[in-house]
Amino acid sequence: MSLKIEYTREAEETLISVYEFILSNFGKRSAESFLIKAEKIIGLIAKLLFMFKAVPFDETVRIGLLTGGFGNSGSSSLLVKVY
C-alpha cells in the first residue's frame, strides 16, 4: 500500500523551477529525465517510507539521490518530508 503524495505549493514551484532551469540550460531531454527520476523516487518513498535515510537535522525528512541525465554535476538530491 502506498501513501498519498501531496505537494505543497512551495514544492510544486521548486519542482517547476528546477525543471525550467534544466530545460533552459541542458535541453528538454535532460529536463524530462529529471522529472521521471524525481517522480520515481517520490513513488518509492510513498511505498517504502524508510527506504531512504533521514537527514541529520530532521528525522521526518528523507533524502534520495537522482543520478545522471541533467547537467554537468551528474546528480542531484531530492528531499521529501514525511508526515
Model pLDDT, residue 60: 77
Question: Tell me, what's the pLDDT at 38?
Answer: 86
pTM of this structure: 0.66
- Sort 53 into a burial class: Cβ within 10 Å, 0-12 / 13-18 / 19+: exposed
pLDDT tens over the chain, length 83 residues: 677 777 778 888 888 998 999 999 999 999 999 899 888 888 887 888 777 778 888 887 777 666 655 555 555 666 666 65
User: Which residues, in sequence order, are CB contacts of 7 under 8 Å at separation 6+?
Assistant: 15
At 73 the pLDDT is: 54
